[in-house]
Amino acid sequence: MLLNAQRFIYKPLSITKKMKIKGIIIIGFLLILNNCTIKKYYFQISDFNDSKIYKYECKSKSNKTQYWKLTSNETDNTLITEAFKSNFKQYEYFKEKFTKNGSKLLEFISFRYDNNDKKMEIIKIPIELDVYKWKTEKPYKYSVEYVEKNYGKIIFQKERRYIGKEVILVFGKKYNAIKLEGIYKTKVISTNQVYEYKQFSYYVKGFGLVKMEKKFPNGKKETFELTEIMTEIEWKKSQ
């Protein structure tokens, strides 16, 4: 018999302790899930060395349909999105840079047209830069400030958070998509007025953004779905 040894007595865990351990395991598992990477669901730099045009169709209002021309540069890891209305007039230019943590805003320009159809630039100065994060653990945002002729200084902000995964139809086939909730806020500094709406965005591997569901404070809704992907030559022929 060993001297000064203490006798080991096995005592089963109480129900309370078992529940605590189980709870810790579940929380740890959820944290792992919430920290998963969703990089492959976003637009991929290598897919847009040759420009592609995404047609986002608004089936309830055809005049709201949009065209996004996507062009990448693998040398500097940038992606440019030029957005056009259904009449093929450009309304936005958006440049982002891919980093180890996500996509960062570099340039943001909006376009307006006067009564003579002259195109005018509205340059938006970046403040906060997170466009899309590879990890899903917490919300993030980008914001810009700019000056409108009739309203003065304006601040625009887009905040996003990861919701989860859903199965949706793209070109008639089922795909696993991630769902993000975006809150869009536009604040007019001179009047302190804030305009806000919500958008749910769906991303699928191999495509990027495939669906947008906009919800406005007055109850109105608009849904945009990816219905066509064109080369630049095909797009110009369709105009």
Say what the pLDDT of residue 184 is. 98
> Which backbone phi and psi does 7 adopt, to 5 degrees?
-70, 130
Say what the pLDDT of residue 4 is. 46
List the beta bridge partners of residue 84.
67, 90
Query: 3-23: per-residue pLDDT in tens?
Result: 444 444 445 555 555 555 554
Domain limits at 53? 39-238
> Which backbone phi and psi does 77 adopt, to 5 degrees?
55, 45
Quote the CA–CA distance of 109 and 93 in Å, as a whole number.
5
β-pairing, 140-148 with 119-133? antiparallel
Query: 19-52: per-residue pLDDT in tens?
Result: 555 544 444 444 444 457 999 999 999 999 999 9
- Tell me whether residue 63 is in a domain: yes
- Tell me whether residue 16 is in a domain: no
Say what the pLDDT of residue 90 is. 97
Using DSSP's 3-state secondary structure scheme, residue 190 falls into: coil
How many domains, in total, are found in the chain? 1
Judge whether residue 143 has pLDDT over 90.
Answer: yes
Query: 158-170: per-residue pLDDT in tens?
Result: 999 999 999 999 9
State the CATH number of the domain containing residue 100: 2.40.360
Helix residue spans in the chain (DSSP H) = 15-34, 232-238
Say what the pLDDT of residue 13 is. 53
